Chains A and B, each alone.
Chain A
C-alpha cells in the first residue's frame, strides 16, 4: 500500500483546501421587483461537472451571473474557495473564474484570435504586453476548443457553433479554476455538442470545477457528475443524473410531455418527448 502524499486534484486547486470552489447559500435575487432566485443553495465541488437544469425562466442564467457579481443579490451569500465574492477584486476574480455567456456581444470585425487573446487580460499587467507564453496559451486554447483553423476569421463571418467555440477558447485562455457556462451547447449540432462536453470532461479531469446551465437533459445526464434542478428560483432536486431525472420529478417541474427512458447501451437517462398520442391524464392541469 503506497501512501499518496501529493494532492490528486491537479495544479489549479484552491488555496483553501476543503472549501467548495463555488457555493451559493440561500441566494435571493430580484430583477425588476420580481424574485428570480428565491433562496437557492447549491455548491460546485472541486473536480466535478455540475449541470444546472430547469424550465425556462427558472433562474439558471441569473445564477451564473450572480456568481461573478454581475447581478447584485438581495440576500444570501456567494463564496469562492470559501471567501465571500465581495472580497475579490475584479482582476483576482477573473483569474479564478471564467464565464461563457449565452449570447455574448463582440465586434463583428474582431478576429477569433483577437477575441481569445482577451482571455489573457486578467493575467497581464496594466502596462505590460502579451508575453510569448500568453500567445502560446492563446494558441493552445484555440486548438483545444477546436477553433485554431478559424484564428484569422472575423467573428461576424462565423456560424453560431463556431462563434461559441471561439468564446469557449477565450474562457480556456483565462486558465480558470472555475468555469461557468450558460447553455454552451445551444445551436450546436449533436456532434459539436458532444465534442464540447468531452472537452469539459477533460477540464474536469485536470481539476477545473465546471458548472454549466444545460437545457438538453439527455446531454446533461450523459456528461454531468451531478445535476441541480431549479424551478421558480429554488433548488428542487440535486444529485446524480439518475436521481434527479425521474419522470415524477420532471412531471412536477416541466409538465407531463416528456418521458424518461434508459439508454440501451449506457443505461443513463434519455429524455424523450412523450408524443402527441400521450394519454390525456398525463397532461397537467387538463
Chain B
C-alpha cells in the first residue's frame, strides 16, 4: 500500500514525480532495476562511433557466451562489429556495471554504518587515500607500465582503508560519531591527502600521467584482466556486507538500542567498514575517482523501495550499475570523438538530482 505512506506528499512536489514514484513502487524493485540495467547495457553496446543494430549486438554477445554459443549463428555479422562489441564495448560495459554497482553498494553500506545520509567513499576520504596510495607506488620503482596490476591496486586499497580508519577514529574521539565531526574529519583528511597527491604529481613530471586517470575517473583503461584482478575482493567484500544486512537495519537505531538488541556494535561496524573499504578501494583502483554514484543511487533506491538494507544493498548495486553504464555512454558519445571522463558526467548528472532530492525531502529522513 505505497499510496498510504504519509510521507509521500513531501516527496512529490510535482505531479509527474508522484506518478513516477507510484509506478516505480508498483513495478517493484528487482524487475525495474534489472530492466533499467538491461536497457542501458543495450544502449552502451549499440551506440558509439560505429552504431550497431540492437539485434546484431545481442547476437554477437550471445555468440560469445559459453551456454549460448552453439545456438547462435554470428557469421552474418561483420568481423569489425564483432571486434567492436566484444573487444571494445563489452569489457567497458561490464567494467562500468561492476564499478557502478560497487560504488553504489558501498555508498549504501557506509551510510548505514555511519547512520549518515551523506557518507560515501569520497566524503570519508577513501578515494583520496586510495589515490595517494596509488600515486606513491606509481612514482616509486615498483610501479611499472600503467597502474593496473601488481602493487598499485594493493597500495590503493591500503591507502583507502587506512584513511577510513583514521577518519572514523577521529570522529569517535570527538565524543560520539556525530555527523558533523565525521564529515569535518573526512573533508579535512581528504584535502590533506589530495594536496599530498598533487605535490607528488608536480614532482613526478611525465610519470604522473597514470595518476591523472585516477583523479578523473575513467573506464577507458578498463580491461578484462583488471576486472578479474578485482573480482575476488568485490565478491568477498560484497558477501560480508550482504551478510550484515539485518545488522545494518539494527544499526539504523541509535547505538544504545543496537546494543540492547544484542548487536556487538563496535565489532559489526568495523567488519562492515573493512569490507566496504576493501570494495571501494578496489573500485577506485580499477577506475579511479568517480563521484556521486555512491551518494545519489542509494538515496533514490531508499526513496523508491524503502530502507531495509537486505533489499537496499542489492538494489543499490543493480541501480548503480545501470547509472554508471548510462553515464558512461553519455561520456563517450556527447562530445565524440572526444571522450568526457565518466566522473565528470556522473557529477553533472548526479549533482542537480541530489539538489532536487534535498529540496523535496529533508536529508535526515533519507
Closest to A108 in B: B365
The reply to whether B366 and A109 form a contact with Cβ atoms under 8 Å apart is yes
Min CB–CB distance B246 → chain A (angstroms): 7
| A69 CA to B364 CA, complexed, in Å | 29
The reply to whether A104 and B262 form a contact with Cβ atoms under 8 Å apart is no
**Chain A residues with CB below 8 A from B250, complex form:** 118, 121
The reply to whether B302 and A109 form a contact with Cβ atoms under 8 Å apart is yes
**Chain A residues with CB below 8 A from B1, complex form:** 152
| A90 CA to B264 CA, complexed, in Å | 7
**Chain A residues with CB below 8 A from B263, complex form:** 90, 121
| A152 CA to B1 CA, complexed, in Å | 8
Question: Which of A91, A106, A118, A154 contacts B7, CB < 8 Å?
Answer: A154
Cβ-based interface call for A185 (8 A): no
Known: A126-B243, A157-B6. A110 touches B260 (CB 8 A): no
**Chain B residues with CB below 8 A from A153, complex form:** 6
The reply to whether A90 and B5 form a contact with Cβ atoms under 8 Å apart is no
Min CB–CB distance A12 → chain B (angstroms): 17
Cβ-based interface call for B249 (8 A): yes
**Chain A residues with CB below 8 A from B4, complex form:** 152
**Chain A residues with CB below 8 A from B307, complex form:** 107, 109-110
**Chain A residues with CB below 8 A from B264, complex form:** 90
Min CB–CB distance A46 → chain B (angstroms): 21
Min CB–CB distance B290 → chain A (angstroms): 27
The reply to whether A107 and B6 form a contact with Cβ atoms under 8 Å apart is no
Closest to A127 in B: B243
The reply to whether A104 and B253 form a contact with Cβ atoms under 8 Å apart is yes
Cβ-based interface call for B79 (8 A): no
Q: Give the contact-size bracket for chain B.
A: 20 to 34
Question: Which of B7, B256, B262 contacts A109, CB < 8 Å?
Answer: B7
Cβ-based interface call for B223 (8 A): no
Known: A124-B246, A127-B243. A90 touches B252 (CB 8 A): no
The reply to whether B260 and A70 form a contact with Cβ atoms under 8 Å apart is yes
Min CB–CB distance A95 → chain B (angstroms): 7
**Chain A residues with CB below 8 A from B254, complex form:** 104-106
Min CB–CB distance A159 → chain B (angstroms): 12
Closest to A107 in B: B252
The reply to whether B261 and A156 form a contact with Cβ atoms under 8 Å apart is no
Q: How many residues of A contact B (CB 8 A)?
A: 37
Cβ-based interface call for A253 (8 A): no
Closest to B265 in A: A90
**Chain B residues with CB below 8 A from A111, complex form:** 306
Among A89, A101, A104, A107, the one with the most B-chain Cβ atoms within 10 Å of its Cβ is A107
The reply to whether A104 and B257 form a contact with Cβ atoms under 8 Å apart is yes
- Flag B302-316 by CB within 8 Å of A: 1 or 0 each: 100011100000000
Min CB–CB distance A65 → chain B (angstroms): 7
Cβ-based interface call for B83 (8 A): no
Question: Which of A93, A105, A152, A156 contacts B262, CB < 8 Å?
Answer: A93
Closest to A97 in B: B260
Known: A114-B249, A121-B250. A68 touches B302 (CB 8 A): no
**Chain B residues with CB below 8 A from A93, complex form:** 262
**Chain B residues with CB below 8 A from A69, complex form:** 259
Min CB–CB distance A38 → chain B (angstroms): 23
Question: Which of A90, A104, A124 contacts B259, CB < 8 Å?
Answer: A90
Closest to B264 in A: A90
The reply to whether B256 and A70 form a contact with Cβ atoms under 8 Å apart is yes
Known: A108-B365, A127-B243, A156-B7. A94 touches B249 (CB 8 A): no
CB contacts under 8 Å to B, within A240-286, are none
| A137 CA to B91 CA, complexed, in Å | 49
CB contacts under 8 Å to A, within B48-63, are none
Min CB–CB distance B78 → chain A (angstroms): 50
| A8 CA to B182 CA, complexed, in Å | 53
**Chain A residues with CB below 8 A from B243, complex form:** 126-127
**Chain B residues with CB below 8 A from A127, complex form:** 243
Closest to B365 in A: A108
Cβ-based interface call for A122 (8 A): yes
Among B249, B261, B307, B366, the one with the most A-chain Cβ atoms within 10 Å of its Cβ is B261
**Chain B residues with CB below 8 A from A107, complex form:** 252, 307, 365
The reply to whether B262 and A90 form a contact with Cβ atoms under 8 Å apart is yes
| A152 CA to B6 CA, complexed, in Å | 10
| A191 CA to B252 CA, complexed, in Å | 31
| A111 CA to B307 CA, complexed, in Å | 9
List residues of chain A with CB under 8 Å of any chain B CB.
Answer: 65, 68-70, 89-95, 97-99, 101, 104-111, 114, 118-119, 121-122, 124, 126-127, 152-154, 156-157, 174
Apart from A68-B259, A104-B254, what 20 extra A-B contacts exist at CB < 8 Å?
A89-B262, A90-B264, A93-B262, A94-B260, A94-B261, A98-B260, A99-B260, A101-B256, A105-B257, A109-B307, A119-B261, A121-B246, A121-B263, A122-B262, A126-B243, A152-B4, A152-B5, A154-B7, A157-B7, A174-B261
List 21 A-B residue pairs with CB atoms under 8 Å apart, sorted by A's residue number: A65-B256, A91-B262, A93-B262, A94-B260, A99-B260, A101-B257, A106-B254, A109-B307, A110-B252, A111-B306, A114-B308, A118-B249, A118-B253, A118-B261, A119-B261, A121-B250, A121-B261, A126-B243, A154-B6, A156-B7, A174-B261
Q: Which 9 A-B pairs have the closest CB atoms?
A: A94-B262, A122-B262, A91-B262, A157-B6, A105-B254, A108-B365, A121-B261, A99-B260, A107-B252
